[in-house]
Chain A
Amino acid sequence: MAHTVSDYKGKLKPTWCPGCGNFGVLTALLNAFTRLDLEPDNIAVVSGIGCSSRLPGFLSTYGVHSLHGRALPIGQGIKLANPKVEVIVVGGDGDAFAIGGGHFPHAARRNIDLAYIVMNNRIYGLTKGQVAPTSDVSFRTVSSPYGNFEEPINPVAFAISVGATFVARGFSAKVDQLTDLIVAAIAHQGFAFLDVISPCVTFNKVHTYKYFQERVTPLPPDYQPDDPVRAVEMAKVMQDVIYTGIFFRKEKATYQDWISKILEGVKPATPEELVLSQR
C-alpha cells in the first residue's frame, strides 16, 4: 500500500504564525515524502533552532530538533552511520549561514548524500525581528536600527561556490514547484541544497509575499543547470527578478561511495587481532 500524506503527519499542529511561509514548506515536504513513497521510519529530519527548525516536531518520522547551527553535522552523522536512512536537514537562514555557517562548506564538499532545506525569511523570527545574514543592505530591524550595512549572503551562489552538487531555489507560496524541487533534492545522490523563500509575515514587512510574488520567476526554459559560473550569475539576479528552479546539478561520487571503496579494499581484522598487533 502506498503511503498517504497523513502517514507522515505528526500529532502536533504547527505553532507558526498564521500565514507563515513555513506552512508551504511543510506541505511540500509531506507531498514529496508521499510521492517518493518513503517509509516514515526510514526518514530522519534534523533541524537546529529557529521557527523553521520546529518542523520535525510536526512529522511522524524520526527527527532531531538539535542545537542552533548544529543540524548539518548531526544529519551527516546519521547518514554516515546508517546510509539507508533518508536524511533531510531543515532550518533557517541564521542556522545555516550565521551560527552554523562553518559547517556548510564542509558538508557540501564532502558530498554527503542528504537534502538540506533552508527556509529563508531574511530575518530572525523566533527572537522577534533581528537582522539576519541574508538581510539586505539598509534593512532596518530592532538590532539594525540605523540600517544593515553588511552584505547579505546569497545562499544559492554560496552553495555553488563551496561545491554543492545540487543547488535549487523555491518559493513557499508555490507548493507544486517546491514539491518537485524537494523530490529532486531527495533523489539527488549527494549534497542537495534547497534555498526556500519563506516569508515571515510578523517581522519582515519589506520582504513580504507581495514583494516576492512580483519578482519570483522560474529559470528560463532553455536554462541548463550544468555551468556553475552561469548558475551563480543567475542566482545573483535579485532586484526585479528572483529566479527559482534548479540552478546547478552535477554527478559526483558521494562520501559514502568513497567509504564503500575503502571498506571493500581494507584487510578485515577482528578487534582482538588489532589489540594483539600492538607490539
Chain B
Amino acid sequence: MEKVDLVVRIGGESGEGIIVAGEILTLACARASFEVYTYRAYPAEVRGGHSMFQMRTANVPIFSAGDLVDILVALNQEAYDRHYSVVRKGGVLVYDPKSVQPHDRDDLILYPCPLEDMALNQVQAIQTKNVVTIGVLAQLFSIPQDKLEEVIREKFGSKGSQILEKDLLALKVGMEFARQNIQKKENLKLGRAEGRNRIVISGNAAVALGAIFAGCRFFSGYPITPATDILEILMKEMPRVGGISIQVEDEISALAMAIGASFAGKKAMTATSGPGLSLMSELIGFASMAEIPVVIVDVQRGGPATGMPTKMEQADLFHAVFSSHGDCPRIVIAPTNVEDCFYQTIKGFNLAERTQLPVIILSDQSLSQRYETIAIPEFNSIQIEERSIVTIEELAQGYQRYRITDSGLMPMGIPGKPGAYIARGLEHDGEGIPSYDQGVHQAMTEKRFRKLDLALMDNDFTLRWGNPQSEVGIISWGSTEGAVREATNQLKERGKEPDVLYIKLLSPLPRKQVEEFLKNKRKVLVPEVNYSGQLSHLLRAYFLFDPIPLNLAGGRPFAGYEILKKIEEVL
C-alpha cells in the first residue's frame, strides 16, 4: 500500500469555526481508518485573535503533529503571514483571494477559492465558510465524503435540521467548486486506509474515560482552560455509570468535595489547570496527612498567574512534586501521549488506593486538546485496584485507623459501616487522636513517606527506547515524547541513535530504572517545555549528575527538529 502522511494546517480569525472544521476533518480521517494527530493554538478569548488547527493523518504510525505543512488553509492574511514559512517546498495553499494576498512564489501551489462568497451566496449562511472549506479539501485531496457527512450529522444534528442542512449543503458547494474550477497540480491524496480496530480520542477524554474505567464515581470540578473538557465529559457520562459529577464554586471546593467523597467510600477525582492546583495546595497536604486517596488532574498551561491559558507548558512539575507546606508525600504521574492518558489515569487511581495518598496527574494543553487514534484497549487485561476496607475480624482485634505498620498502611473504615474514626489534618497518633509529641510526628511522618515505596513496586513507570549502548541519553517526561521520537527515528536512520528514558512517575522517582539508565552515560540531554529546567533540577538533586538542559519557555510543544539539532550539537 502506498504511504500516506499528510499535514494540514488551517488558520484564521478565532470564532470562524476553525477548531470545529479541524475536528470534523480529524474524525472523518480517523473513521476512514487513518492515524490522526492534531495540534491546536487559539486565543483565550471567544472571538478575535488568531486561531490555528493542525492535523496530521497517515496510514503509518505517527508521533507528532508534524513539523512541516503539506496543505495550508489561510482564511485571512494573518494566517498566511504567520504560517506560509512552515509549508514545505511544493506544498499547497488554499485561500480566499478576497482576504489573502500570497507572495508571488513558485515553491507553493496556489488554489484560490471564493470561500466567503460561496458561503454567503450559495449556502446563504456565512458561518458555513468553515464547512465550505472542508468541501474544497475533500474534493482536492480525496477525503471520504461519506465519513465527512457522518461526522457533520453528529456534530450539527442536535442544532436543528435547518443548520444541519446548510452544513451538508456547504460541504457539497465546496466540493463542486473544486471539481469544476481547480486543476490539481500535485498528487497529495488521502483515499482509504485498511480497516483497523481504532478509536479516536483527545487527551482530556482519555483522562475522563480512564477515570470511569478505573472505578471513579465522583467528580467535582470548576471550569478552567484547558481542563474543562474533563468536567464537561464527566458531567454528561458519569450518571450513565451510576456516578455523580458536580460543578462547584471554586477549585478549593472541588478538591474538598472529592476528598469528602473518597472518605465516604467512592473513588473520586477533580481536574484543573495550574491556577486551580495552586488553590488546592493546602488540601493536597490534608489528603496526605489524613491519608485519603484522591486523584487530581493538572492540565498544565502557560504560567504563572493567569499566564497563557490556551498555550502549552510543562512548568508545574515542581508545584506538583513539592506544593503544600510541610513534609507531604504524594504521587505524581505524567502520561506521555493521548493513549497513555487513559492508562496512567487508571494507574493513578490504583496508586491512590494502594497508598492512600493524593495522586497528581500532569497532563498539558497540547496533550489534552489534541486527538489521536489509539488501539482499542484490551479491557480484560487492565488491572483495577480496590480500596482496603477494615473487616469485622480486624475491628475485633482493636482496629486503629492510623496504626504504624511496616508498609505504612492500614485499611480504611467507610461511613455507613463499622470502623468509625476521625480523619484529621492535625498530627495524630495511631488512633487519630491529636498529638504534638516529636516522637509521634517523627514516626507518623516516616510511616506516611514509607507508603511511597508501594508505588515503586510497579516497574512500568519508565519507557525506554533507542540504543542502550549509546553513551548519549535523553531523559524527559510528559508530552515531549512525540518530538523526541521523531528526532530519534531520524538519528537512527543516520546510525546515531541515542538511548532514551521517559519517566512517568515523578514522585517518587523510579530510582532503580534511572540509575540503571545512567550507568553508561556520558551526556544526558533533558528537554522540557519550561524555562527553569524542572526535571533537570530533580535529576541533579536525586542522582548527582549534570544533565544538559534543553528548555523552551512554553507556548508551544517542541518540534522534532529542535531536539534533533540539540542532540547533534551534544554528539
Binding site for B on A (CB under 8 A): 11-12, 40-44, 46, 49, 56-57, 60-67, 70, 73-82, 84-85, 102-103, 105-106, 259, 262-263, 266-272, 274-276, 278-279
Shortest distance from the beta carbon of B422 to any chain A beta carbon, whole Å: 4
Inter-chain contacts of A106 with B (CB < 8 A): 248-249, 253
Beta-carbon contact of B209 and A81 below 8 Å: no
Alpha-carbon separation in the docked complex, A92 to B6 (Å)? 63
Give the residue of A78, A263, A274, A276 whose beta carbon is less than 8 angstroms from that of B263: A78
Beta-carbon contact of A41 and B286 below 8 Å: no
Give the residue of B200, B256, B282 whose beta carbon is less than 8 angstroms from that of A74: B256
Within 8 A of A (CB), among B410-452: 413-426, 433-434
Alpha-carbon separation in the docked complex, A40 to B420 (Å)? 8
Beta-carbon contact of A276 and B416 below 8 Å: no
Within 8 A of A (CB), among B279-300: 282-283, 286, 290
Interface string of B227-264 (1 = CB under 8 A from A): 00000000001011110101011101100111111111
Shortest distance from the beta carbon of B247 to any chain A beta carbon, whole Å: 10
Within 8 A of A (CB), among B299-358: 342
B side interface size, CB within 8 A: 61
Beta-carbon contact of B249 and A103 below 8 Å: yes
Inter-chain contacts of B424 with A (CB < 8 A): 57, 64-65
Beta-carbon contact of B423 and A65 below 8 Å: yes
Alpha-carbon separation in the docked complex, A76 to B260 (Å)? 7
20 contacts between A and B (CB under 8 A): A41-B420, A42-B415, A57-B422, A63-B420, A64-B260, A65-B425, A66-B256, A66-B423, A67-B425, A75-B260, A79-B260, A80-B261, A81-B217, A81-B260, A82-B264, A84-B416, A269-B237, A271-B212, A275-B199, A278-B205
Inter-chain contacts of A40 with B (CB < 8 A): 420
Alpha-carbon separation in the docked complex, A11 to B420 (Å)? 13
Inter-chain contacts of B240 with A (CB < 8 A): 266-269, 274
Beta-carbon contact of B263 and A77 below 8 Å: yes
Beta-carbon contact of B264 and A77 below 8 Å: yes
User: Is B361 an interface residue, CB under 8 A from the partner?
Assistant: no
Alpha-carbon separation in the docked complex, A126 to B73 (Å)? 65
Beta-carbon contact of A279 and B260 below 8 Å: no
User: Is B379 an interface residue, CB under 8 A from the partner?
Assistant: yes
Beta-carbon contact of A64 and B290 below 8 Å: yes
Alpha-carbon separation in the docked complex, A54 to B264 (Å)? 20
- Chain B's closest residue to A71 (CB) is B256
User: Is B31 an interface residue, CB under 8 A from the partner?
Assistant: yes
Shortest distance from the beta carbon of A121 to any chain B beta carbon, whole Å: 21
What 9 A-B pairs are tightest by C-beta distance, nearest first? A77-B260, A73-B256, A81-B261, A77-B257, A82-B264, A74-B260, A73-B253, A81-B264, A77-B261
Beta-carbon contact of A64 and B257 below 8 Å: no
Known A57-B422, A73-B253; judge A80-B218 contact (CB<8 A).
yes
Beta-carbon contact of B283 and A279 below 8 Å: no
Alpha-carbon separation in the docked complex, A46 to B420 (Å)? 13
Inter-chain contacts of A105 with B (CB < 8 A): 249
Beta-carbon contact of A77 and B256 below 8 Å: yes
User: Is B454 an interface residue, CB under 8 A from the partner?
Assistant: no
Beta-carbon contact of B261 and A70 below 8 Å: no
Alpha-carbon separation in the docked complex, A175 to B326 (Å)? 41
- Chain B's closest residue to A269 (CB) is B240
Inter-chain contacts of B264 with A (CB < 8 A): 44, 77-79, 81-82, 85
